[in-house]
Amino acid sequence: MSRAAPRRSGRLSRWAFPPAVLLGYLVATLIVTFPLGFQIGRVIPGKEIDGWENVWNVWWAKEALFDLRTTPYFTRSLYHPEGVSLYFHALGLGAAPLSVPLQLVLDPPAAMLATLLLLTALAGFNAYWLVYYVVPNRLAAFAGGLIFAANPYQVYHLSFGQINLTAITWIPLFALCLLRALRERRPWLMGAAGVLLLLVSLSDWQYAFYCFIFAGCLALWEVGRAGDRRARARILAAGLGVAAVYAALVAPIAIDMIREFAANPFARRPAWQVLLRSLDGVTLLLPNPFHPLWGGLARPIYDRIYGPDIYSGITAVSYVAAALAIVALLRRWRVAGFWLAMFALYVALALGPQLHVNGASVAAPMPYRFYGALPFVSISRSPCVFLKFAFLMLAVPAALGLDVVMRSLAAGRGRGLALGAGALLTAAIGFEYLSAPVAAAPVDPAPSFYARLAATPAAGYGILDVPTAERDFPMYDQTAHGWPIVGGDLSRDNPHPLLDHLPPIAALDSDRYPLADRDIFAPTDLAAIGEAGLAAQRIRYVVVHEERLSDKERARVARSLARIFPGRAPIFAGEGLAVYEVRPPRQVALVALDERWFGPDKLPQGGEPYRWIGERAGAHVYAPGAATATLRFTAHNFARSYTLRVLVNGTPVGSHTIAAGFTEIQAPVALREGDNLVEFAIVEPPRSAADLGLGEDTRRVSVGISRLRIEPARP
């Protein structure tokens, strides 16, 4: 993999040539993604798949880093009122150096599309310098950058609006700085490689893992090539220097991520998703499925293997690029060997834990099984993304093969013919990669109500969007109005503390209602607790997106709204919205039970409803202001005596022994304004009827609660 001395090429000056190369990649990006570059501000790629979410990602990067000057890894703009961690959300912060400045002159949808295009063009530009370092032929290096940045898999992720997966920009620069750091005695290269690896990590963590693989293999290769022990020691020291810089930079983020990973099972990806998003071997032979001429030949095969619309892996390495790589292997194998071996490794990893060929499983040992067993790797679900690195590895031998062809022609028939053939082969690669026209959806104009919201400080209040099941379009709307929202569509299925258990939200979301008609507290109907429940969570507006509701859903939502806001008309109606303002009630009210209760069940005597608790369960109480009240309930035990502790907002307010029979309990409580959590905690371990041989019920229970109520303190 030795590097020959660079040759002088062309008449452009040393300073004029890099801008010309960048311009070339900008033009190539505009061609392969046509017409997106001419629709900035008018369309959103990916819209209802990932587009809305990534417009929010771009907006949030500027909001956190530039406006709020806070960590981007936690937000109170989503999952109102508690907020949510974003450590395992695909933020694509590696794009922030582009997306944040762009938002100083563009709105978020326009900035998002411009960022996607610039990320792709710069990826080609940066790959050019890596390839040129190994193959000092400018035209061949340009072809190598085209292979990396303009391939159909890159355009596919761009067309879905996926900022994190499109942000491959820093990968070739990291590879270049690492390669030079291992070969040259320049300490600054170690620092540069560490910083670039951090940018790769911020783009997408799986890219960082793929860089680790490249770094390890490259270091072993360079050590194997080293002539003596001193040279090997210097290479290892340089590699450790890069690792030390990166570790120091990434540690503040990684430590928190590791803690959350250990505590949050939703950070891990299930095995079936890994299998679904693995590359099928037959696609290695197929042409570009999005090509305007022959894409129709490949698409039916992709549709049959992966299903329509969403393809897990698009190889389309370019037949011309593959032929040039074979030329390099035959004529310059000492240089091409490492890169082709890495290409083969990344393709093998992209095939996933189970080999599939033309949709059928094939028994074969797959390297991904070893990779997938490594710590932290379970946060990734898409082996096929290894293809991004496979294209970079292919870029070098393909450029080397093009250099061989051009040298052969120049030696025999003159430099002009060599340049013409090189340009023709480069254009052929670009033509194979053509994916135009790339479809995108028009930008929806923001309703005028959002302009009113944007001019009004949220002051800690939020918005509930209906339907609540669709959590991505409210993120897009938030970039227009800026208020916190109850929803949010994250890359991980984080449980939402409100959507499943707060009665008014559940009633608006579906026919499922978390409280029974007769439950352990009364009244439980929406007319009594609906608005109080919303007010307890500091929800100021309910925004109904009528065009997103079916006729059946619209009728159900209308019934629920009539019960939550009896006799009230929306404060805004039009442009597809109906907006209701929440007016906080003036009385204390029980509004919801949390998810930790069993039941409800009914007592044999009189059918009184009750609910078992296991170790702990809670109820939400709304208070219009700081107040004192009396909590009353009836408790009975299961099979033995239990010590029941009552806590309000984490503060103990009483401890009671629950023995045989029914115990009437009352406790004075101090409530704060808004939502209050009353918890019932058991000291002794709960047991089940099955444990005691009393039946088949396996629920581990302790104390049953009934007739739960909250009464304002008398003056």
Q: How far is CA 364 from CA 106, 280, 474, in A?
A: 51, 13, 45
Between CA 497 and CA 486 the distance in angstroms is: 10
Between CA 129 and CA 170 the distance in angstroms is: 12
pLDDT for res 639: 82
Cβ(33)–Cβ(124) under 8 Å? Answer: no
379 confidence band (pLDDT: 50, 70, 90):
confident
Residue 591, pLDDT > 90, answer no
In the 8-state DSSP scheme, what is residue 491?
Answer: S
Between CA 470 and CA 510 the distance in angstroms is: 12
Cβ(175)–Cβ(182) under 8 Å? Answer: no
Tell me the one-letter amino acid at 551.
Answer: D
pLDDT for res 600: 86
Between CA 505 and CA 641 the distance in angstroms is: 37
pLDDT for res 414: 79
Reported as half-sphere exposure (CB side, CA atoms, 13 A), residue 82 has a value of 12
Reported as half-sphere exposure (CB side, CA atoms, 13 A), residue 712 has a value of 12
Residue of 528 and 5 predicted with greater confidence: 528
Q: Cβ-count burial of 487 within 10 angstroms (0-12 exposed, 13-18 middle, 19+ buried)? A: buried
Helix 386-413 × helix 205-225 angle, to 10°: 50
Between CA 113 and CA 340 the distance in angstroms is: 33
Centre a 10 Å sphere on the Cβ of residue 650 and count the other Cβ atoms it contains.
7
Centre a 10 Å sphere on the Cβ of residue 484 and count the other Cβ atoms it contains.
22
pLDDT in tens, 436-447: 899 898 998 889
3-state secondary structure 242-311: HHHHHHHHHHHHHHHHHHHHHHCHHHCCCHHHHHHCCCCHHHHHCCCCCCCCCHHHHHHHHHHHHCCCCC
pLDDT in tens, 609-650: 899 999 999 999 989 888 899 999 999 988 888 999 999 999
Task: Give Dmax (Cα) for the chain.
Answer: 105
- Long-range (24+ apart) CB contacts under 8 A made by 559-567 are 560/504, 560/507, 560/508, 560/526, 560/530, 561/508, 563/507, 563/525, 563/526, 563/527, 563/530, 564/504, 564/507, 564/508, 564/526, 564/527, 564/530, 564/531, 564/534, 565/530, 565/531, 566/527
Task: Please state, rounded to an integer, the average pLDDT across all residues of the chain.
Answer: 89
Cis peptide upstream of residue 35 (ω within 30 degrees of 0): yes
Cβ(447)–Cβ(164) under 8 Å? Answer: no
pLDDT in tens, 329-347: 999 999 999 999 999 999 9
Residue 275, pLDDT > 90, answer no
- Find where tokens 């933020």 sit: 91
N residues, the chain: 715
Residue 328, pLDDT > 60, answer yes
pLDDT for res 5: 42
